[in-house]
Chain A
């Protein structure tokens, strides 16, 4: 019994210590962000690698989520004779929820894992240590640009995802299932509010972008410098980001819409 209590205690302390390290790490990284004003090239390079290189998966997923949502929405709505409202259903669920959340989950899998593995490997091959000895602060040169790039790229990716998903459901609904184009767009225009829906969606994706990049760079930086350590860090970056995004989404939704 005491053994069990001891183990629970040790685990809890371990988690608290890691959280503390993560916050201190974040403070140091944020303190390094202003120095990037002089080196915008570093951020642009990272936006390319976390943003542009994630485009394929975002585009393909966006279109398919739209197609499926169009089909499913139509099947249900037609029972109530409300199939002309397909545009509203699709637009609201995508702009408010699916756009930010699915983009963040895909981002964790595509870019978060890559960030954690890259930084973890740099640590285990002493590249970060070498940089420190060359009087170059890894926080400024490596961590801060990646953190900022994720924060900037996520809302853009979510916007592209949402746009393509709505386009996908338009193709299915109007092109295949005889929903009227005027009703599809007109009802959407009436029902979707800029502040209430679109802006809240953007806020969500900003929050997810921040959390996803923070977790990814922290896991990489905190990785044990062995191959097993880097592999664990990569897995953790994806799992923790996914859980954090889902949890945060619930909290944000409750605050925004409840």
Chain B
């Protein structure tokens, strides 16, 4: 039964989400809507829990309170069996790629097909080659994951994530640690796949320039809440000093350069604290 609030063009709806890891509160009332067919970016400084948000959407973590609806279904109210059925419609690209190191490229992409379908082997082969062709790695099908560069590994993982033709794909920091060429390839690929396969893409990232190039909409996460949402252009021109500091990468501003310390710098160097530790 579809939830009326998630009907229409909203694929993922997050309401009043709270989540804490031990003492640290990561989400303190996040509200977020992700529309079908768009590339949506969730941005924010490191440590704001962007990856955690993806894991909450995928049902790998339980929130303290609040709801996550994906395609009309309340993710955290589903039984394990139903959750696995829902996950077949979700693809996820992990930061590390998470390829199976004992399988070659071809078998990695074929893995979800073998697990979830009874297709004849010739058809599986054709599907795998199609997906690998889409990410430009048909020629690398016999390589093992250890023989791939970081960028290639991510593209193989992307081919595997779209193997079952999901409705949405979640990207966890897809651009981190890439050289300019593979970065360009990935940026282009995410947009192209989104449009040609009618996907909905969610990108979690702190690479502002690359993400802004392809995102239809950006939500900025800070202090456990969404502080601003809008098109990339709107965010670049934001009124908020904090958002401007983040989008333009300024070293100092509302977010101070220094991590807060218990005592002042002078006291720390010359005062009691220093001598106690040295003795």
Chain A residues proximal to chain B, CB less than 8 Å: 121, 125-127, 129-130, 132-137, 141
Contact = CB atoms under 8 A, between A and B. Distances in A.
Interface in B100-154: 100-101, 111-112, 115-116
Contacts of A133: 58, 60, 87, 90-92
Contacts of B99: 127
The range of chain B's interface size is 20 to 34
Contacts of B92: 130, 133
B60 A125 contact: no
Contacts of A136: 111-112, 115-116
Interface string B144-167: 000000000000010010001000
Nearest to A137: B84
Contact of B98 (A125, A135, A137): A125
B33 interface: no
Contacts of A141: 115
B231 interface: no
Given A125-B101, A127-B101, A129-B60, A135 B84 contact: yes
* Chain B contact surface mostly: mixed
Contact of A135 (B94, B116, B160): B116
B94 A130 contact: yes
**What are the 9 tightest A-B residue pairs by CB atom distance, in nearest-first order?**
A130-B98, A135-B87, A126-B98, A133-B92, A135-B84, A135-B88, A126-B94, A134-B112, A136-B115
25 contacts: A125-B96, A126-B94, A126-B95, A126-B96, A127-B98, A127-B99, A129-B94, A132-B87, A133-B58, A133-B90, A133-B91, A133-B92, A134-B111, A134-B112, A134-B115, A134-B160, A134-B164, A135-B84, A135-B87, A135-B88, A135-B112, A135-B116, A136-B111, A136-B116, A141-B115
A125 B99 CA distance: 8
A82 B157 CA distance: 69
B102 to A, nearest CB: 9
A141 B269 CA distance: 56
Contacts of B94: 126, 129-130
B89 to A, nearest CB: 9
Interface string B196-237: 000000000000000000000000000000000000000000
Nearest to B86: A135
A137 B95 CA distance: 21
Contacts of B112: 134-136
Nearest to A126: B98
A40 B160 CA distance: 25
B79 to A, nearest CB: 13
Contacts of B96: 125-126
A69 B135 CA distance: 63
A130 B90 CA distance: 11
Contacts of B58: 132-133
A119 to B, nearest CB: 12
A129 B92 CA distance: 10
Most chain-B Cβ atoms within 10 A of its Cβ — which of A127, A132, A134?
Answer: A134
B131 to A, nearest CB: 14
